Amino acid sequence: MKHERRALDAAAPIRRARPRGKPLADRLLGAFTLLAFGFILAPIVSIIVFSFNADRFPTMVWGGFSLRWYEAIWNDATVRAGFWRSLRVSATVSVIATAIGFATAYVDYRWRFFGKTLYLAVATLPPTVPILVLGLAMLSFFSTIGLVGTLAGVVAGHVVICAPFAMALIRLRLADMSPDLEPAAWNLGATRWATMRAVVIPFCRPAIFAALAITAAVSFDEFMIAWFVGGFEETLPVRILAMLQGQVSPRINAIGTIVFAISITLVAAAQLLTARRARHEEE
């Protein structure tokens, strides 16, 4: 490879035969890709770096390393309370949404029935509705059934948008399960429940873990429904929204970094589980 490139440089004016290589075009493409990733990752890097900046004014000037913003949020009772609320909400949401997502994925995998398209539309459409519209709809509906101002209301709303993601992940996994596997178990005398426990759920386990992680992360970051429905039960993102609307402060960076550190652990876990699946498939 190295040798080839040197030869090319030496013979720059000579045009190379076309199809293979195309190093210049490739390098341009690679450079463009790097730029695009720079754009995607710039805010994330900025959050982490400037959470350690001592300077209180939100400029790009480095004022020295400091943990003062971490100290500030540690001592901020509203941030701590919001964090715990978010944690409770996202843990509850991930379990319920993954359970519903699994059931829906299994129904899609196992049965054909009249109205299935409609059923799947109801189960998968929520993420295509703007979350702000959902927030308003839930605010008006939940206020008639006493769910406004409660974390239960936030959970109910978050499960709506999270369950389709869980369903998609688990459905993808089920697509790899041989349709003969279950009938084999049934023929051997296993009940449908026993088959579910001993065959289907173990087969889906990596996707179930991935779904738990991703739905937890989506719920943890969601602020529109939480803002509209939660009332005074402020979750962490709602607190951040309030901070953005008020006195902007580098404390937001510190919160962002901590949340990122927690989430990335979840992604890494989910990625490991799906990567193991992918490798298994490649073999």
Partner 1 sequence: MLAERRFRRRRVDPFAVLWASPALLWQGAFFLAPLGLLVWLSFWSLRNFRLIPDFTTANWDRILTRDFFWAAFQHTLVISAVTALVASLIAFPVAYFLAFRARAATRRLAIFMLITPFFTSYLVRIYAWTIILANEGALNLLGRALGFETANLLSTPTATVIGYLTLCLPLVVLIQLFALSNVDRDLVGAAHNLGCGPLRTVLTVVLPAARTGLVIAAAFAFILAFGDYVSPVFLGGSRPPTLSILIVDQTRSGNHWPRAAVVAVVMILTLIAVLFGALAAAYGRRKGAA
What is the CB-side half-sphere exposure of residue 166 using CA atoms within 13 A?
31
Q: Which is nearer to partner 1, 10 or 118 (CB)?
A: 118
Does the footprint of partner 1 cover residue 70 (CB under 8 A)?
no
Give the closest residue to 207 by CA, choosing from 274, 266, 265: 274
To the nearest whole angstrom, how small is the minimum distance from the Cβ of residue 6 to partner 1? 21
Q: Please, are residues 151 and 88 in contact by the beta-carbon 8 Å criterion?
A: yes
Sole window of 72-80, 170-178, 201-209, 216-224 interacting with partner 1 (rule: CB under 8 A): 216-224
Six token digits for residue 73: 């949020």
Does the footprint of partner 1 cover residue 65 (CB under 8 A)?
no
Give the closest residue to 105 by CA, choosing from 54, 150, 172, 198: 172
**Applying CB under 8 A, which of residues 133, 175, 194, 201 lies at the interface with partner 1?**
133
Total residues binding partner 1 (CB under 8 A): 87
**Applying CB under 8 A, which of residues 40, 65, 75, 77 lies at the interface with partner 1?**
40
Does the footprint of partner 1 cover residue 160 (CB under 8 A)?
yes
Q: Which is nearer to partner 1, 38 or 202 (CB)?
A: 38
Q: Which is nearer to partner 1, 199 or 241 (CB)?
A: 241
Q: Which is nearer to partner 1, 43 or 202 (CB)?
A: 43
Does the footprint of partner 1 cover residue 167 (CB under 8 A)?
yes
Sole window of 1-9, 24-32, 68-76, 201-209 interacting with partner 1 (rule: CB under 8 A): 24-32
Query: For residues 107 and 126, what is the distance between their CA atoms, to the nearest angstrom?
Result: 18
Does the footprint of partner 1 cover residue 240 (CB under 8 A)?
yes
Give the closest residue to 164 by CA, choosing from 225, 230, 93: 93
Does the footprint of partner 1 cover residue 110 (CB under 8 A)?
yes
Q: Please, are residues 77 and 64 in contact by the beta-carbon 8 Å criterion?
A: no
Q: Please, are residues 223 and 186 in contact by the beta-carbon 8 Å criterion?
A: no
Does the footprint of partner 1 cover residue 132 (CB under 8 A)?
yes
Does the footprint of partner 1 cover residue 248 (CB under 8 A)?
yes
Does the footprint of partner 1 cover residue 200 (CB under 8 A)?
no
Does the footprint of partner 1 cover residue 7 (CB under 8 A)?
no
Q: Which is nearer to partner 1, 10 or 114 (CB)?
A: 114
To the nearest whole angstrom, how small is the minimum distance from the Cβ of residue 260 to partner 1? 5
In the chain, which ranges are continuous DSSP H helix?
2-10, 23-50, 68-74, 77-110, 116-124, 131-144, 151-174, 181-187, 192-195, 201-221, 224-230, 236-245, 251-282
Phi, psi of 65 (to 5 degrees): -75, 140
